[in-house]
Amino acid sequence: MVFFSRSPQPTPPSFDDAVAPSDVLISLHQLEKSYAHGTSRSWVLRRITVDIKDGEFVSIMGPSGAGKSTLLHILGMHDSAWSGEYYFGSQPVHRLSPKDRAALHKKHIGFVFQSYHLLDHLTVYEHLDVPLSYRDIRKSERDSMVCDILDRFAIVGKKDLYPNQLSGGQQQLVAVARAVIANPKVILADEPTGNLHSSQGREIMELFKKLNDGGTTIIQVTHSEANAEYGSRIIALKDGWVVGAAQSQ
């Protein structure tokens, strides 16, 4: 698998005026999430107050059940059942309509789900075309971007297959490729290398590092210290609380 053998992808639409570039890209204030069980309530995220700067590479770490995926889904604007404030650039996500949140997500965020979330009825090729279809990109250019990423991820031979015809690792590669193909402003990745061979995992981390060097903000959930080393900061969660936020080298 050779991710970097080709020239960079065509320049995608830029970060527009709807979300003005600023030092802080993501700002969470007293964000909380809980589930009701009969008369009782269990808390999954507690008073999360965190700023993430434009261009940062942050790792969210913590034990199983700590709330990492829950937090990432809120950042990805998939989940609206929470309280507190979430600003994405100048946009108050906590006040946006579902339609506006979805538009913001589609325009600026690439998301790698912990369980991939590939669609049964779409081929690999079609999965990779979906994020491009949200942008104002000509079909011929889209085709060339899909071919380029299939090549970079060494999955050209799989392009017409459906998810149930792929191995777990291949599904994960498709999920990562889908998140990065449209060159989003932010990549949110939930254990993006969990099902990959260690060398493939390193290549994904190198790809993220390269994208981050080019200005993409990256927030990954990981259990791997080695993966966290690629970032510059760790946000540690435990039982829904932020228990530490360390800078790494």
Residues that bind Mg ion (CB under 5 A): 69, 114
Order of strands across the sheet with 241-247?
109-112, 186-190, 217-221, 57-61, 233-238, 241-247
E strands within 71-165?
Answer: 83-88, 91-92, 109-112
Q: How far is CA 29 from CA 88, 185, 191, in A?
A: 12, 21, 25
Size of the site for ligand ATP (CB under 6 A): 12
**Residues paired with 217 in a beta bridge:** 186
- Only one of the segments 17-25, 57-65, 135-143, 162-170 lies at the binding site for ligand ATP (rule: CB under 6 A); that segment is 57-65
Which residues on adjacent β-strands are paired with residue 111? 188
The identity of residue 27, as a single letter, is S
* The one among 56, 57, 68, 110 contacting ligand ATP by CB under 6 A: 68
129 vs 190 by CB, closer to ligand ATP: 190
What does 67 bind: ligand ATP, Mg ion, none (CB cut-off 5 to 8 Å by kind)?
ligand ATP
Q: Which stretch binds ligand ATP (CB under 6 A): 23-31, 62-70, 180-188, 192-200?
A: 62-70
Q: Which of 64, 97, 140, 199 binds ligand ATP (CB under 6 A)?
A: 64
Is 44 a binder of ligand ATP (CB under 6 A)? Answer: yes
How near is the Cβ of 192 to ligand ATP at its closest, in Å? 13
Report yes or no: 237 and 43 within 8 Å, Cβ to Cβ.
no
> Is residue 65 a contact residue for ligand ATP (CB under 6 A)?
yes
Q: Which residues, numbered 97-136, are part of the site for ligand ATP (CB under 6 A)?
A: 114
Q: Rule CB under 6 A: say whether 39 interacts with ligand ATP.
A: no
| Shortest Å, Cβ 75 to Mg ion | 13
**Minimum distance, C-beta of residue 191 to Mg ion, in the bound complex (Å):** 7
CB 91 within 8 A of CB 153: no
Judge whether 194 and 149 are in contact, CB under 8 Å: no
Q: How far apart are CA 99 and CA 218, in angstroms?
A: 24
Please give the DSSP secondary-structure letter assigned to residue 245. E
Distance (Å, whole) CA 225 – CA 215: 23
Judged by CB under 6 A, the residue of 54, 61, 67, 184 near ligand ATP is: 67
Q: Does 244 bind ligand ATP (CB under 6 A)?
A: no
- Report CA 246 to chain centroid distance, whole Å: 21
The contact set with ligand ATP (CB under 6 A) reads 35, 42, 44, 62, 64-70, 114
